[in-house]
Amino acid sequence: MTTADQVLGRRLERPGVPPARAVAPTAPRTAALPASLQDIAVTGLWRTGLAAALAWLALGGLTLYWPNKEVGFSDWAFTTELGVAALVVGVLLLVVAVLGANAGRVGRTLRPAGQWLIAAPLLLALWEALTAKLGALPPPFFAPPQSLIDVAYEDWARLGLSTAHSLRLLAHGFVLGALVGFGTGVWIGWSRIAGYWVHPVLRFLGPVPASALLPLAFFFAPSSYAAAVFLVGLATFFPVAVLTWSGVASVHKSYYDVARTLGASEWFLVLRVAIPAALPQVFVGLFMGLGASFSVLVTAEMMGVKAGLGWYLQWAQGWAAYANMYAALLVMAVLCSGLITLLFTVRDRALSWQKGTVKW
């Protein structure tokens, strides 16, 4: 037995001295890292990014070196540009993947989307092969990815103007419907009289689709734009009003009792107790109203408005310009996704006081 072992043995034999704790072998630090960072910590290489780079390079090679199938009128424009763009993306991802942890902020931003960076070129390659290369999906009903670049280059002014008109109409209708719905929901949830008289009317007329009132709106409204604003606001109003009422009505009575004990007035109870407690459900209503307003927006613009994405879709269908139609649908998807992200940001800021009490 060595000297160190003898000293440790005498320590264990002393009365009142706790035995030495066995030190468990520490787990490697990489086990605590996210899955997207473990391979970088071990090998210094972002393997998912490497696979994504190879997928984008394959898409570029497929687009450039596989000849397009001739269509009746002409070849697809911007095929070379699409292939070069895919190659550039592949090279940039390859650099980020090789740099690994040294890629900095760019690498940290791209790592969570690593699997999507692989799926996107694979889907684009399938789309390209079925349309431009094989012609399995017949034109003009189905257009390849490069046709969207053609639309953006040739018709960007009309598409941009339609997007601006749709944004203006959506903003007016959504804000108006959200404000009226929020006020109505607070009124129904707080006032017994409003709950008795207004709540049954809301439950009776609220589920009626806003698009079903399209003829009446265009008949009574002074202009087609006012009718479209009314329909978009009506689609937003119902979910916001119902969920706001539900949030206010479900506030625990003890909150009001404590506030009244401290001398709170009725307005204080509404503004500082009921409304903050109901905000989580209010934002759920806003999310639902945003989705409903988008569907009504397209319908309203198709019927009477002279500009907007709905009008653009109808115009593209009339001229059999299906590539323009797909481009408008893509713009609508990006627009809706961006607004939802913005609403999530506002919600996180408004409900930041709940982070300590609610599991996010």
Q: What is the pLDDT of residue 344?
A: 93
CA angle, 245 then 251 then 257, to 5°:
130
| Domain 156-351 bears CATH identifier 3.30.565.10 | no
User: Residue 11's pLDDT is what?
Assistant: 45
Cα separation, 48 vs 175, in Å, equals 42
Sorting pLDDT into bands at 50, 70 and 90, what band is 353? confident
- Show contacts of 222-230: CB within 8 Å, 24+ apart: 224/303, 224/304, 224/305, 224/306, 225/169, 225/305, 227/300, 227/304, 228/169, 228/173, 228/297, 228/300, 228/301, 228/304, 228/305, 229/169, 229/172, 229/173, 229/176, 230/173
Average pLDDT over residues 198-224: 82
Kindly indicate the confidence band of residue 17, based on its pLDDT and cuts at 50, 70 and 90.
Answer: very low
Please give the average per-residue pLDDT across 204-208, as a whole number.
Answer: 79
pLDDT of residue 40: 55
Please enumerate, as own/partner, the contacts of 164-167 that have beta carbons within 8 Å and a separation of 24 or more: 165/301, 165/305, 165/307, 165/308, 165/309, 165/311, 166/297, 166/301, 166/308, 166/309, 166/310, 166/332, 166/335, 167/335
Out of 4-13, 38-47, 121-130, 148-157, pick the least confident: 4-13
Domain range annotation of the chain: 32-143, 156-351
φ, ψ of residue 78 in degrees (nearest 5): 65, 25
Percent of the chain with pLDDT over 90: 46
Average pLDDT rounded to a whole number, residues 11-17:
47
Identify the pLDDT of residue 214. 79
Any idea which of 37-51, 96-110, 146-160 has the lowest mean pLDDT?
37-51
What pLDDT does 111 receive?
93
4 vs 336: which has the higher pLDDT: 336
Kindly report the average pLDDT of the chain as a whole number: 84
Query: What is the per-residue pLDDT across 89-141, written as a single tens digit (0 to 9) for each?
Result: 999 999 999 998 888 899 999 999 999 999 999 999 999 999 999 888 887 78
Asked whether the bond before 140 is cis by omega within 30 degrees of 0, the reply is yes
Please state the pTM of the whole predicted model. Answer: 0.77
Is the pLDDT higher at 207 or at 168?
168
Q: What is the pLDDT of residue 32?
A: 52
Q: What is the pLDDT of residues 262-292, one digit of tens each?
A: 888 888 888 888 898 899 999 999 999 998 9
Q: What is the mean pLDDT of residues 341-352?
A: 90
Structure confidence at residue 39 as a pLDDT band (50, 70, 90): low
pLDDT in tens, 294-336: 888 888 887 767 788 888 998 888 888 889 999 999 999 999 9
Vertex 17, ends 16 and 19: CA angle to 5°?
Answer: 130
